Chains A and B, each alone.
Chain A
């Protein structure tokens, strides 16, 4: 069965090509070109996003939020000085993906649209409260909070024909974040578990807000519920770390697979949560660079 390749030169063309039956968008191609999984829908047409200038680059909007275009690669994010400074957990996650030749073409948007349970970039994006910007043929774009975006392993709320034009990250202000990950190799490996922690603290060192997201431990990347309430107004302490770790473990629904057992994953959720929150806290207080 041959696949057709089309390369629209405008978003409008891309939207109409993407709407055809069997059409799929092609960004970096590092997921979509892998051998099809059993039971996945056959791809009849690949719609290349290569020539759509409007999807490129990282920009800052008037309200201070940041928008990563759908063509932005993991490599761009992990090297962009503003990203490294403002969103260190995202930069770290992007830098952990695959290998240099994967990162140089693989996009952040492709990462979330694939919706693998192990999607590294999705985890800090969840913690940062990102929104997915979708063009769907109408003049007005839709914004979907990432926390409501994933519906199952490799499934999202996107409808056939939707084109994601980018992800929007609210201006985080003064805060701290960290991304921790375990895998069996230091490169070219999918996470066994990854955790992103984002912490905002007040002038007295007490927590104003906190979010925690997990990867590879549930059918989708996951935002841990209720942690802001646990942490609010408290300082960083061993007991707080334990409570947050317990909340993370309670939220995780890991399976045993070829990469790790469920039991090990649960243990790592606890261990990485503690480490990530502590590091994020340190950054928020300006103790850790």
Chain B
């Protein structure tokens, strides 16, 4: 029952008229507009909502308003006192502890609670104190560093510009103060809340949907079903096999079948539960073998009718088949001294960005919808909506908000069309936020895999051939599966010189949630298989795993993948440096072991454009359609490169947000493409502006452009350095009297390197652009009593071409290691007959600060010929190696080999032969 409640928040009393049984989190966010406190799970399992109540750290999602009434509540918005940042906030900025920033407010509140109690905490104390704050981006390394720095009063000063300089992220300040707006942080007057009706069955024909019981509930405004949408329009990443809502049948538990809009989140949820579905079960496909079996039930009956954006080979439940074949693996086999075949299996894991999907849509009088969303590809959302709903793009506007982590999970269209349809139908703005449970059943996790790999070697340590069969389970829709299979095929042979290669990849449908992209799609699966086998071979042959790798790694000019020639290869240095860092040749104690893995990956391509406008005061605005999922490329390297060409400070660059109505096109944030690709176009646009500035200055001053140059002061004479005009003077005079405002523009689509004719087929991505190289080494200890693997240390090296912002690059390495360790040791979306049985952050386990080992990031720079300043793409690869490195270390420690993931204590215990007493 509602009543007047006095809430004291950050020293101010807010009288609110609410139900005291409402959560403090909802009240702070939706009634007081204090959206700095985040909701990552709603169940006390992530810490994103941490606040202090009378000095006590609490999860606001598990605190009722009545419990906080009359007490002193401090939220992130109250951490900075009297206009000065708290030392913790300064330290988070200065050490690079902020990436996506979604976990940051909660982490800062936990850290404050700690420092209030223990002014100079030790590292274990810090890790324990923040162990309830899940962070998916940072691996906690810089978080621990920041808290230590703040407590000791030693906060580093950062430079303001420069290539290779640790400039602070341009969005860090808004993220440490809670001001940054993420997907769920926007609201509109009179907004409704939407909810999704999801299929309770894995495979069933839809006989009918009865919305009447939902519509009869109080506060319910509308229900939308698939029957109202175009019957013959489909969309998809590569294969257009998906519709906005299920129409004739459902293909997985959790598939959206209808939408509801209501006054509150609770009434929307109740209404969604009340929509009655009449379903007739069909035979289900849950495993790879079931999908491949003769006469298997078909997940998609009309596979051939779907539009495919590449020469697709598809049949039965195989949505894409592809091959790479170089040399002659069969003939080479006879030349080998030993041939090894092994099969490896990996599980489904979830990206587990801390910010759930969230969108808000509002329709205007002409039926144009504006959508605020947290999506990695706002332009693709507009395109997919046009494809699947048949709307012209003039009716769709997508605005990109801050993204609280994506890792590929927000590359596909999510809630956007749902909100748009409900907004049109109700005439109200409609907001939707996925619950953490929905995230596990209704998003796009990483593909489960089964990979068989055969390798032949000669006694002199040469790899003669490799054969591979890659099977990925893509679930109900192809998603990014066809590309993920291809990428796995590129990675399976490893970064080795192998002249005879025969790889086959298949992506299979099943009645599971659709898998999508996850940080380096196909990568961790293939690296686990390929690099585990490298160690198995070395052990069997009595070779040192490091030497075996070094004897086969690729170098300048070598042929790799589907026949592309390599350049700028920093791989050997990566391997040597991680081996040194981990003490490869040092003796080891009992039950301790070390393991290595190495790999390669692409810098991402795809179209982009940018504009740099000269402002009247001589600052500039960088206009890009790029968004940032947390890596910071948009807030570090891109403005750094623009500032560099214009001799400005990063603080002089306004960075636009993405709005499909006003930003130039960009493909989206994913595929390690931001610094390499978008950074390149930003730099080109800055260079374009620079030449315009010099020409305009020459015109205004009556000089020859060739005699002028741009310096920190403005345009100066090459000869003697006389200041001709400042940028502000040029801008202002151009605006008022001469030729109009100045802007530089550029468009870019990186050209894929050529690969050999006939060597591959069915691939969506046939060559790696500006390849990067990585190596990691892990040191572990295995507890034989429990099977628990403790990772003590990981060294992670990557050839990044050129680190435009080394602190940001380290952040990618550290965060990638954390994600890869989670993948290797603890994470798994568990399904029973297509139903996810662990859809929460307690039973789906991502590493906490207490689980993370020491991580040593090592930056190797072998500049690429094509990237800006030699940069290559960084984001994805670090997550692909840890599982393999740990598996190899486990065998080194206790002599058992795990061929499937995750390597839980239970799995290791079983491998060690641990039998249950009495069994």
Contacts and interface: CB of A to CB of B under 8 A. Distances in A.
- Same complex origin of A and B: yes
Interface of A: 2-5, 7, 26, 28-30, 33-35, 46, 48, 50, 98-102, 104-105, 182, 184-190, 245-246, 249-250, 258-264, 266-268, 270-271, 275
Contact of B128 (A100, A184, A268): A100
Contacts of A275: 785
A101 B47 contact: yes
Contacts of B785: 271, 275
Contacts of A267: 909, 914-917
A5 B20 contact: yes
A5 B851 contact: no
Contact of B63 (A2, A29, A188, A246): A29
B847 interface: yes
Contacts of A261: 906
Contact of B845 (A185, A260, A266): A185
Contacts of B1: 2, 4
A101 B59 contact: yes
12 contacts: A5-B64, A26-B67, A33-B62, A104-B56, A184-B845, A186-B851, A187-B848, A189-B845, A249-B917, A249-B918, A258-B837, A266-B916
A48 B59 CA distance: 17
A101 to B, nearest CB: 5
Given A5-B20, A187-B132, A33 B64 contact: yes
A100 B132 contact: yes
A2 B20 CA distance: 11
A29 B64 contact: yes
B58 A101 contact: yes
B44 interface: yes
B848 A182 contact: no
A105 B909 CA distance: 36
A260 to B, nearest CB: 6
A261 B907 CA distance: 10
B917 A266 contact: yes
Given A5-B66, A266-B919, 9 more contacts: A29-B67, A100-B57, A101-B59, A187-B128, A189-B842, A190-B842, A263-B915, A263-B916, A267-B917
B826 interface: yes
Interface residues of B, number: 55
Given A2-B19, A4-B1, A261-B906, A182 B786 contact: yes
In the complex, the 5 A-B pairs of residues with the closest C-beta atoms, listed nearest first: A99-B132, A187-B131, A186-B850, A263-B916, A5-B21
Interface in B31-57: 43-45, 47, 50, 56-57
Interface string B124-167: 00001111111000000000000000000000000000000000
Interface of B: 1, 19-21, 23, 43-45, 47, 50, 56-59, 62-64, 66-67, 110, 113, 128-134, 785-786, 788, 826, 830, 837-838, 841-843, 845, 847-851, 904-906, 909-910, 914-919
A188 B132 contact: yes
Contact of B917 (A33, A100, A258, A270): A270
A266 B58 CA distance: 35
A104 B116 CA distance: 14
A72 to B, nearest CB: 13
B57 A184 contact: no
A96 B830 CA distance: 25
Q: Max chain B CB contacts within 10 Å: which of A182, A260, A275?
A: A182
A35 B73 CA distance: 25
Q: Max chain B CB contacts within 10 Å: which of A187, A189, A258, A261?
A: A187
A190 B840 CA distance: 13
Contacts of A187: 128, 131-132, 848-851
Contacts of B64: 5, 26, 29, 33, 46, 48
A184 B850 CA distance: 12
B918 A266 contact: yes
Nearest to B838: A258
Nearest to B43: A34
Given A185-B851, A271-B786, A50 B917 contact: no
Contacts of B128: 100, 187
Contacts of A264: 905-906, 909-910, 916
A275 B849 CA distance: 26
Contact of B66 (A7, A184, A190): A7
A30 B45 CA distance: 10
Contacts of B50: 101
B19 A5 contact: yes
Nearest to B60: A101
A246 B916 CA distance: 11
Contact of B44 (A98, A249, A250): A98
Contacts of A105: 56, 58, 62-63
Q: Max chain A CB contacts within 10 Å: which of B20, B842, B906?
A: B906
Contacts of B110: 100-101
A19 B902 CA distance: 48
B527 to A, nearest CB: 23
Contacts of B56: 104-105
A184 B67 contact: no
A4 B826 CA distance: 40
A4 B905 contact: no
A249 B788 CA distance: 20
Contacts of A101: 44, 47, 50, 57-59, 110, 132
A30 B62 contact: yes
A83 to B, nearest CB: 17
A104 B21 CA distance: 20
A127 B873 CA distance: 56
Given A29-B62, A48-B66, A186 B906 contact: no
B847 A185 contact: yes
A101 B130 CA distance: 9
Contacts of B917: 245-246, 249, 266-267, 270
Contacts of B131: 99-100, 186-188
Contacts of B132: 98-102, 187-188
Contacts of B21: 2-5, 46
Nearest to A1: B270
Contacts of B841: 188
Contacts of B788: 182
Contacts of A186: 131, 848, 850-851
Contacts of B62: 28-30, 33, 105
Contact of B905 (A182, A262, A266, A270): A182
A29 B61 CA distance: 10
A184 B132 CA distance: 15
A276 B536 CA distance: 37
Given A46-B64, A189-B845, A184 B904 contact: yes
Contacts of B838: 258
Nearest to B51: A101
B674 to A, nearest CB: 31
Contacts of B67: 26, 29, 48, 50
A188 B842 contact: yes
Nearest to B45: A188
Contacts of B909: 264, 267
